[in-house]
Structure 1
Amino acid sequence: MTLRAEPIAARRLLLEPLRTGHAEPMAAVLADPALYTRIGGAPPTRADLRRRYTAMLAGPPDPNEAWLNWIITAPEPAGTVQATVRTAPDAAAPGHDHPSAALAWVVGTPWQGRGLASEAARAMADWPARNGVRCLTAAIAPGHLPSERVARSCGMAPTAEHQQGERIWRRRAPGAHPCR
């Protein structure tokens, strides 16, 4: 898979492709323990993020997958958005692939409630769609209303599917194959 994150400008923010140098400012953005009440874990250190970002930038071991990661800058770092793009072959049409993207987002506590997550997620969701991805999904903890609003702003709707206790939300391009 040849997709690579590139800068994406939105009205109030810029999505910058992830760099290891983002570890220091992002450690401060992600420092509030309240961010982890639904997703688990604890605030990462700069060293944790540097290791994580280095691994993310190395890319996935699966050649049918691409990891696209951006820092939300508004104008200072405020959060992250990511798309994990997977390509699956079409059994009915050999030689045709069906890319799909699993989206995720997190905005630091001081920047929440301003619509930045929705604006950033929409900008990110539109990018893979412009690059041939026909199905977008997000896994959201049931009842997490802010993330549900973000998913709706991206044109996603809840499904009956669950993955690791989270509800799957989906947006499929008109005429696109059923996606998983």
Structure 2
Amino acid sequence: MPTNPGPGPRAFTTARLDALPLDPAHADEMATVLADPALYGSTGGGPPDPLALRARYERQAAGSPDPGERWWNWVLRVRTEGCLAGYVQATVRGPRAEIAWVVGTPWQGRGYASEAAKGLVAHLAAAADVRTLVAHIRPGHTASAAVAAAAGLAPTGEWEDGERRWVGSPVSPAASPCG
């Protein structure tokens, strides 16, 4: 396993998705993907303005100012449709990664979030030697809880900012069905 995987994330694929390293050029399409106010019912906030999203993507693509921390972000392209449908992200610090995912409303209910999260976990284990995974999920957000469970995480008794901490370890990349 590499100990210094480089400055940015590499693309990875799953059965139906291409996870592409985030680029500010994705902002306009992603603003449309993230436009449904229903996406923010559990997290707060609202749909992003395309210009503000581009500025955020520029900051994220530049990476963390902390040299011991890597911000890895990918947009998710549904291969058969050729369009973006969401994102996955990881903040990697040594062998630990905090992960998150969002799939736009039109693509929900198709298993894309679980597929992307499992692919992310396998990718992090192989590309960054991640051994501990953490996600934070709001109470009652059953869809995100199901995604976390599918990715091998389990709820803990710990809470942060009103969200339950879920923790897990990646399965061996060789055993993963995602590439």
Q: What range is the shorter-chain TM-score in?
A: 0.7 to 0.9
Superposition deviation, residue 123 in structure 1: 0.5
Match of 1:160 in 2: 157
Superposition deviation, residue 73 in structure 1: 0.4
| 1:46 partner letter | P
Match of 1:113 in 2: 109
Superposition deviation, residue 172 in structure 1: 2.6
| 2:48 partner letter | P
Match of 1:40 in 2: 44
Whole-Å Cα distance in 1 between the matches of residues 125 and 33 of structure 2?
A: 28
Match of 2:12 in 1: 8
Higher relative contact order (CA 8 A, sep 6+): 2
Superposition deviation, residue 106 in structure 1: 0.4
Superposition deviation, residue 165 in structure 1: 0.4
* Percent of aligned positions that are identical: 50
Long gaps (5+) in structure 2: 172-179
Whole-Å Cα distance in 1 between the matches of residues 169 and 159 of structure 2?
A: 17
| 1:123 partner letter | G
After superposition, give the CA deviation of every residue in 1:4-24 in whole Å (9 maximum; x if it has no partner).
211111101110110010001
| 2:135 partner letter | A
Task: Decide which of 123, 135, 139 is 2:119's aligned counterpart.
Answer: 123
After superposition, give the CA deviation of every residue in 1:19-74 in whole Å (9 maximum; x if it has no partner).
01000100000000111111011100110110000000111111110000000100
Long gaps (5+) in structure 1: 88-98, 175-180
Q: 1:6 to 1:31 in 2, by over 3 A?
A: same
Q: After TM superposition, list the pairs within 5 Å mapping 1:25-174 onto structure 2.
A: 25-74=29-78, 75-87=82-94, 99-130=95-126, 131-172=128-169
> Displaced runs of 4+ in structure 1, greater than 6 A?
none
Superposition deviation, residue 3 in structure 1: 5.2
| 1:44 partner letter | P
Q: 1:57 to 1:139 in 2, by over 3 A?
A: same
Q: 1:173 to 1:18 in 2, by over 3 A?
A: closer
| 2:20 partner letter | E
TM-score, with normalisation over the residues of structure 1? 0.87
| 1:40 partner letter | G
Whole-Å Cα distance in 2 between the matches of residues 63 and 46 of structure 1?
A: 29
| 2:101 partner letter | W
Q: Count residues with an aligned counterpart.
A: 163
- Secondary structure of the corresponding residue to residue 61 of structure 1: coil
What is the RMSD of the two structures over their aligned residues, measured on CA atoms?
1.3
| 1:84 partner letter | T
